[in-house]
């Protein structure tokens, strides 16, 4: 099944909406069985849909009021590139850092590869330094 760039954009937008609404089953259902996540700092791609579910659930647990605003999105061929702004309140543990109550806003640049009408691969580069500074886990001004 070949999809158009416009269909691929619609798929990624739908996945973001599902994640934002806390419907992780729907979001994970948009991934291929052999999904790969390329995460900043990981030596190798992380395989499997559970990796995505775990990361998304971790964000929802730490920032239950998480909103995802697509600032820019474009596609060519089977790739979709997105600039997103994520905002929320740090109300649960994020990594090893307990809730700070801080309101956060941070950007992420994300690239998705679509195959057969599903998301097959992602490359994510969130501005974790910005996020960590806002929750008090990193010095400001780096």
**For residues 100-118, average pLDDT:** 97
Contact 58, 40 (CB under 8 A): no
HSE-up (13 A, CA, CB side) for residue 112:
28
Q: Is the dihedral of CA 53, 58, 20, 70 positive or negative?
A: negative
Instruction: Identify the band that residue 1 occupies on the pLDDT scale cut at 50, 70 and 90.
Output: confident
Kindly list the distances between the CA atom of residue 105 and the CA atoms of 38, 62, 87, in Å, as whole numbers in the listed order.
Answer: 22, 13, 4
**46/17 Cα distance (integer angstroms):** 23
pLDDT tens per residue across span 2-39: 899 999 999 999 999 999 898 999 999 999 999 999 99
> What's residue 140's pLDDT?
82
> What's residue 142's pLDDT?
59
Pairing of strands 118-126, 103-115: antiparallel
Q: Hey, what domains does the chain have and what are their CATH numbers?
A: 5-134 (3.10.450.50)
> What's residue 30's pLDDT?
97
pLDDT tens per residue across span 64-100: 999 999 999 999 999 999 999 999 999 999 999 999 9
Helix (H, G, I), strand (E, B) or coil at 12: helix
């Amino acid at each position: 099944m070949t999809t158009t760039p416009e269909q691929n954009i619609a798929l990624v937008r739908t996945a973001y909406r599902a994640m934002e609404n806390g419907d992780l089953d729907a979001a994970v259902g948009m991934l291929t069985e052999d999904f790969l996540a390329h995460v900043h700092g990981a030596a190798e791609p992380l395989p499997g849909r559970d990796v995505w579910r775990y990361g998304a659930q971790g964000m929802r647990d730490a920032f239950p009021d998480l909103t995802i605003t697509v600032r820019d999105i474009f596609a060519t061929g089977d790739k979709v590139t997105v600039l997103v702004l994520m905002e929320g309140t740090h109300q649960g543990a994020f990594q090893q850092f307990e809730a700070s109550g801080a309101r956060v806003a941070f950007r992420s640049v994300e690239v998705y590869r679509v195959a057969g009408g599903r998301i097959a691969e992602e490359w994510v580069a969130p501005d974790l330094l910005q996020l960590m500074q806002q929750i008090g886990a990193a010095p400001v001004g780096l």
